[in-house]
């Protein structure tokens, strides 16, 4: 049994050569990099996903030849690495250790991505055992040309349809806490309800009146960079707008809306970085894991902006138990 190794968390943005050296150590890591960089890494105790966007020590940046490493620390016993597909993903929390947490990476634009986003709240042991992670993506110039991938670092098997998960046990005096940082608040506008759950919506009710959602967004000149925000059991959850098809009268979303939930368009954020910095935890150790959303990077000018101690991949979706958007997710090991 590998002994517990309790120390500070946090990740680092390094060259492929330095990443390779660290991965050969045998220690457990999660890895984020462009696919070309991932394919240069050696086998080892790691899981990875494709993304070339990062929040590094120098700020937000895009790089096809750097690697973000997050060493898994504070564990008790060797973490367990597993692959999950559509048939097995519902077991992700029941397979988790009774005392610990799980780190998940899944590829964007896949059936698994959709299934997890829609069904995760109903999985057994969800919200009982801590689950956090991110959705792998590609450079924005490569969307539609290359598929996001996840990697089993033990075998260097690349997969475009499955999720990689690291189940991490903790000592009895330590526990994992999953938090989100969301600078968006529900706006003062109308309440929006959808007749069914899903990623693609057409009709909805706005303050009880049936309307076409795409048409309503257009008529009211809604800034679609602002997400829908709802209260999910006390947590503010964002649902970001991906694409409006005015001809078909449909709106495609980055995460599903749910039937019977009241949503509102988020209130505008006048100074995102000020709001973000004021919400960052202060006087805290680097997190065991952190990720931020590609939409925050694009819409809020995060390139070159520092968010320490919250560093990590900038992703196509964040997982704090369930899928979330335009949110920073971080895990702290406390006790």
Instruction: Show me where the domains of the chain are located.
Output: 11-180+274-334, 192-265
pLDDT at site 84: 98
SS (H, E, C) the chain: CCCCCCCCCCEEEEEHHHHHHHHCCCCCEEEEECHHHHCCCCCCCEEEEECCEEEECCEEEECCCEEEEEECCCCCCCCEEEEECCCCHHHCCCCCCCCEEEEEEEECCCHHHHHHHHHHHHCCCCCCCCEEEEEECCCHHHECCECCCEEECCCCEEECCCEEEEEEECCCCCEEEEEEECCCCECCCCCEECCCCEEEECEEEECCEEEEHHHHHHHCCCCCCCCEEEEECCEEEEECEEEEECCCCEEEEEEEECCCCCEEEECCCCCHHHHHHHHCCCCCCCCCEEEEEHHHHHHCCCECCCCCCCCEEEECCEEECEEECCCEEEEEEEC
pLDDT at site 283: 61
pLDDT in tens, 4-53: 333 345 699 999 999 999 999 999 999 999 999 999 999 999 999 999 99
SS (H, E, C) 135-175: EECCCHHHECCECCCEEECCCCEEECCCEEEEEEECCCCCE
List the chain residues with pLDDT less than 50.
1-8
Nearest CA among 191, 107, 119 for reference residue 151: 107
CB atoms closer than 10 angstroms to residue 25: 11
Residue 328 phi, psi (nearest 5): -95, 130
pLDDT at site 10: 67
pLDDT at site 4: 31
């Amino acid at each position: 049994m590998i002994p517990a190794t309790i120390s500070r968390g946090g990740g680092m943005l390094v060259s492929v050569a330095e990443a390779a050296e660290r991965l050969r150590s045998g220690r457990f890591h999660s890895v984020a990099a462009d696919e070309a960089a991932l394919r240069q890494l050696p086998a080892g105790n790691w899981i990875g996903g494709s993304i070339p966007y990062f929040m590094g020590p120098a700020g937000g940046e895009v790089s096809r030849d750097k690697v973000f490493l997050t060493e898994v620390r504070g564990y008790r016993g060797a973490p367990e690495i597993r692959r999950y597909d559509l048939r097995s993903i519902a077991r992700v929390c029941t397979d988790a250790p009774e005392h610990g947490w799980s780190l998940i990476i899944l590829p964007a634009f896949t059936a698994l991505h959709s299934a997890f986003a829609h069904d995760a709240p109903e999985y057994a042991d969800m919200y009982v055992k801590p689950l956090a992670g991110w959705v792998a993506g590609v450079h924005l110039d490569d969307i539609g040309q290359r598929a996001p991938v996840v990697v089993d670092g033990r075998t260097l098997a690349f997969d475009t349809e499955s999720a990689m998960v690291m189940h991490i046990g903790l000592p009895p005096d330590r526990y994992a806490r999953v938090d989100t940082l969301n600078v968006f608040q529900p706006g003062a506008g109308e309440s929006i309800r959808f007749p069914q759950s899903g990623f693609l919506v057409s009709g909805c009710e706005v303050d009880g009146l049936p309307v076409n959602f795409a048409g309503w967004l257009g008529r009211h000149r809604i800034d679609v960079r602002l997400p829908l925000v709802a209260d999910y059991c006390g947590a503010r959850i964002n649902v970001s707008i991906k694409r409006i098809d005015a001809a078909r009268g449909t709106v495609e979303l980055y995460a599903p809306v749910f039937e019977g939930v009241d949503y509102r368009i988020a209130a505008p954020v006048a100074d995102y970085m000020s709001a973000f910095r004021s919400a960052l935890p202060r006087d805290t150790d680097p997190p065991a894991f952190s990720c931020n959303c590609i939409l925050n990077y694009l819409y809020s000018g995060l390139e070159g902006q520092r968010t320490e101690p919250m560093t990590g991949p900038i992703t196509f979706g964040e997982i704090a138990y369930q899928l979330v958007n335009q949110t920073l997710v971080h895990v702290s090991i406390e006790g």
